Structure 1
């Protein structure tokens, strides 16, 4: 018995969820001057939320394993957080610091690696470890290249924020490794 929802119904839920999330800052804007979003802010946030949800639906549509789906959620969530924080305030200094553009390279590694590996769990392990290494290299360049000085971010802040994302990429990779092991175990004759 297949308990999967049709794709069109999932997309409808996803669109409704995105609208509900965007109502939060919209409502806050009605009651405080602390929250100031422009139309472009809503468009970027909506695209990011909806795009992440659609990516989840696309990647998991043929995978029935729970471990793989959790790994996908974790990887997409990490990418979402990296993009969101980078666009909102910047990872190093402000969002205007040019080194922050390099973090989109980390996202590109994830996207390109996912397509090259055919979204297979073993390939995603390599892809996410590569994302972690790229994130670490950006932190290294930021610290030893002096990018943290203008606008200022302390070395501790750079290490802490990048360490957080590196940890998330590694945990994602390990979750895909676990998902790959589960698939291998299920294929073994009993």
Structure 2
């Protein structure tokens, strides 16, 4: 119990330090304009990631499992953050960006079914990578460029989705390695 309390305290300190970045940036630039809601939301998300990592990482003592878990959580966070802040397809207001929710649904369902076992987590991360790349294809069919903004361009959207898919694949390969250990 003491170790858990200590680890969560460390996560709280890390989150506070990370939240100081936009707080300090607001003193020097008008481009960073966070209000209390932004700080509370981001702080909750970051601390939540730490809590999730702490509790799931207990499932294995293998460093490779913990690394895979860290990559998976970080990838999901980055996908959420980028999509919510500026949008991947067009702006954050573009309805096509809601399709990225499918990546989270697949991830959560896979994690629940696999019960955090490395082999199942590997399959889940591979599935998340596939869904990540299917989202822009579906969006392109539903909202072609003639109907909706595709800034930063179709190629740029696929490159960005490829980046996130690569992160999910890295996590999947690490989980696979953990399942072989």
State the TM-score bracket (shorter-chain normalisation). Answer: over 0.9
Correspondence 1:137-148 to 2 at 5 A: 137-148=134-145
Please give the per-residue CA displacement for 1:72-109, whole angstroms capped at 9, x wherever unaligned. 01111110110110111011111111111121221121
Q: Which structure has the larger Rg?
A: 1
TM-score normalised by structure 1 residue count: 0.88
Aligned residues: 179
Residue 7 of structure 1 deviates from its aligned partner by 0.2
Q: Residue 31 of structure 1: CA displacement?
A: 2.0
1:72-111 to 2 correspondences below 5 Å: 72-111=69-108
Deviations 1:105-153 (A, max 9, x none): 2112112211211100000111111111211111111223335552332
Q: Are the aligned partners of 2:79 and 2:164 in contact in 1 as well (CA < 8 Å)? A: yes
Larger RCO of the pair (alpha carbons < 8 Å, separation 6+):
2
1: CA distance, partners of 2:28 / 2:11: 27
The separation in 1 between residues aligned to 2:95 and 2:113, in whole angstroms, is 28
Question: Alpha carbons of 1:126 and 1:16: their partners in 2 closer, same or farther (altered >3 Å)?
Answer: same
For residue 35 of structure 1, report the CA deviation from its aligned partner. Answer: 0.9
**CA deviation after TM superposition for structure 1 residue 171, in Å:** 1.5
Map of 1:175 onto structure 2: 174
Which of 126, 144, 150 in structure 2 is aligned with 1:152? 150
In the superposition, the TM-score normalised over structure 2's length comes to: 0.93
Q: Which residue of 2 aligns with 1:166?
A: 165
* Structure 1: runs of 5 or more not aligned: 183-190
1:20-169 matched pairs, under 5 angstroms = 20-148=17-145, 150-153=148-151, 154-169=153-168
What is the aligned-residue RMSD (CA, Å)? Answer: 1.6
